[in-house]
Amino acid sequence: MRRPLVGLSILALLIGCEAAPTQPPPLEAPPIGLEMMRAVPELRVQRFNTLLDFESDIDSVFVVAPGGGARLVAAPAHTGQRVLQLTQSSPMIELKLSSLLMGRAFPGNWALVGVYVRSDAPSEVRVELLDGERPLTSSTVRPVPATWTAAMLDLSHVAASPSTRPTSDYRLRLSWRGVEPLLVDDVMLVDNTQHLLDGAGGGMSVRKRGMKIVCEHPGRFAVSLDMLEGNPEGWTVEEVSPLRARFAGGGKTRSLVIYDNGLSYWDGKPRSLFGMLRLEDGWQRQHDAPARLVVGQTPGRVLRTTPGDADNDGYNELTGAYQLEAQGARLELTIEPREQVISPVLEIVGLAPGKLVVTVEGRLVDSHARLPDGRALVVIPLKLQRPASVLVRAQ
């Protein structure tokens, strides 16, 4: 007579995790993959693999709980109907990743590995990825009470192995402090890679992967920022275009603007990311004493009250761009430098839809772009030492 569940329960007890006898989930329960996409909507556009969902007694085989205070129970789950419940007698458990991966390459193309955790009271959960006793990466999360919270690790800097070698012993270790119990569900691999700007033609690119945002221009600069999702002082992306990327920060620095030429503004303070730009000594001076803009015969005006314009002169110190409003398909203006102005940036609202054509003193300039909200962004790649006429047209 076959008695598989008894055998599994004995094995689970030997490794310290007890499978509590419960009824299996109903046959009509939706697949865990569909439930995951409902619980975490961003997974609808990301590749993911649920390694353990704790719906089956056999899942306890992959859990090592030295204190014996871990068991599978029926409870309000992140997905499905069962979770792994931890008590204070098991302040640390390990999940046997190598056994779950079954010879597959790791980390391969995966960007994140982790679990979902929940506690009804304030708690702290530390997640570590180990190969044997060698730590590879770690993170600490403080779950929002009574809310399922992702406890994920960034695999970006974990050295890839061509396969899960017999000598590899990948384990996910969870250590926690707080009022018991702690609930654990859905051990996952996720590829959240997102190319926000592809850098076509060798230009600037912006991508998200793991817990990082990377903004780079080959041969010029590369900036890596922590995501807000993984760091309370991290960053979110506000705007991307081939000429400029803007980021909002949760820490001491709240605003970062990076231009394709390597000039950046950190809370309105200019900084060069590209060595060649350091040859120019006028960046700070023109930032402190910007040029004067005069709108010509076409309808339009200089905008002097945009957020980030410190002294209402039409130059926005936060973004390093002159602010203008058009009222039709054309805008004529004159840039009058105080001393000189290097690669001035024009940001124009109200310009009619259409392809942009920009001339400076009758010379075509092709460094321009439409931002997602329709604004026109123009970078004039010249050093102006005398007044220069500019015409921006939409056609």
Please spell the DSSP secondary structure of 255-324, one letter per residue: EEEEETTSEEEETTEEEESSGGGGG---HHHHHHSPPEEEE-SSSEEE----TT-TTSSSEETTTTEEEE
Q: How confident is the model at residue 28 (pLDDT cuts 50, 70, 90)?
A: very low
Question: Measured between alpha carbons, how far is 298 from 389 in angstroms, rounded to an integer?
Answer: 13
Q: What percent of the chain has pLDDT over 70?
A: 89
Q: Write the DSSP symbol of residue 96.
A: E
What burial class does residue 200 get, using C-beta atoms within 10 Å of its C-beta: 0-12 exposed, 13-18 middle, 19+ buried?
exposed
What's residue 275's pLDDT?
Answer: 73
Q: Are residues 42 and 135 located together in one domain of the fold? A: yes
What's residue 136's pLDDT?
Answer: 95
Question: Is pTM beyond 0.95 here?
Answer: no
Predicted confidence (pLDDT) at residue 384 exceeds the cutoff of 50? yes
Q: Are residues 133 and 177 located together in one domain of the fold? A: yes
Distance from the Cα of residue 139 to its chain's centroid: 16
Among the three residues 247, 279, 311, which one is the final residue of a domain in this structure? Answer: 279
What's residue 5's pLDDT?
Answer: 36
Q: Are residues 242 and 171 located together in one domain of the fold? A: no
Q: Write the DSSP symbol of residue 161.
A: B
Backbone φ and ψ of 188, nearest 5° = -135, 155
**Structural domains counted in the chain:** 3
Alpha helices (H) along the chain: 4-15, 32-39, 97-101, 283-288
Q: What share of the chain is helix, strand, coil (3-state, %, to 5)?
A: 15, 45, 40
Q: Are residues 98 and 157 located together in one domain of the fold? A: yes
Mean pLDDT, rounded, for 225-234: 90
What's residue 68's pLDDT?
Answer: 85
Q: Domain span at residue 363? A: 283-394
Q: Are residues 75 and 198 located together in one domain of the fold? A: no
Average pLDDT in the chain: 88
What's residue 276's pLDDT?
Answer: 62
What's residue 339's pLDDT?
Answer: 87
Among the three residues 171, 191, 211, which one is the final residue of a domain in this structure? Answer: 191
Q: Are residues 103 and 206 located together in one domain of the fold? A: no
CATH number at 337 reads 2.60.40
Mean pLDDT, rounded, for 378-393: 96
Q: Are residues 165 and 109 located together in one domain of the fold? A: yes
Question: Measured between alpha carbons, how far is 311 from 247 in angstroms, rounded to an integer?
Answer: 23
Count CA atoms within 13 Å of residue 76 on its CB side: 8
Predicted confidence (pLDDT) at residue 24 exceeds the cutoff of 90? no
Pairwise pLDDT comparison (224 vs 13), residue with the higher score: 224
Strand pairing class (321-328; 221-226): unpaired
Question: Measured between alpha carbons, how far is 379 from 261 in angstroms, rounded to an integer?
Answer: 10
Pairwise pLDDT comparison (57 vs 5), residue with the higher score: 57
Q: Are residues 364 and 241 located together in one domain of the fold? A: no
Structure tokens at 176: 């926690």
Q: Are residues 181 and 67 located together in one domain of the fold? A: yes
Q: How confident is the model at residue 242 (pLDDT cuts 50, 70, 90)?
A: very high
Q: How confident is the model at residue 198 (pLDDT cuts 50, 70, 90)?
A: very high
Predicted confidence (pLDDT) at residue 156 exceeds the cutoff of 80? yes
Predicted confidence (pLDDT) at residue 199 exceeds the cutoff of 80? yes
Q: Are residues 124 and 167 located together in one domain of the fold? A: yes
Question: Measured between alpha carbons, how far is 230 from 277 in angstroms, rounded to an integer?
Answer: 33
Predicted confidence (pLDDT) at residue 385 exceeds the cutoff of 50? yes
Nearest to 81 by CA among 120, 20, 37, 24: 24
Predicted confidence (pLDDT) at residue 298 exceeds the cutoff of 50? yes
CATH number at 181 reads 2.60.120.260
Predicted confidence (pLDDT) at residue 253 exceeds the cutoff of 60? yes
- What is the b/e burial string over 67-90, where b = at least 16 CB atoms within 10 angstroms of the residue's CB? eebbbbbebebbbbbbbbbbeeeb
Q: Are residues 16 and 162 located together in one domain of the fold? A: yes
Q: Are residues 171 and 92 located together in one domain of the fold? A: yes
Question: Measured between alpha carbons, how far is 130 from 376 in angstroms, rounded to an integer?
Answer: 49
Tens digits of per-residue pLDDT, 55-87? 999 999 999 998 888 999 999 899 999 999 999
Tens digits of per-residue pLDDT, 304-348? 999 999 999 999 999 999 999 999 999 999 999 998 999 999 999
Among the three residues 220, 244, 279, which one is the final residue of a domain in this structure? Answer: 279
**Amino acid sitting at position 290:** P
What's residue 9's pLDDT?
Answer: 37
For residue 145, what are the CA distances in angstroms to 41, 140, 142, 181, 183?
21, 15, 9, 12, 11
Backbone φ and ψ of 44, nearest 5° = -65, -25
What's residue 297's pLDDT?
Answer: 87
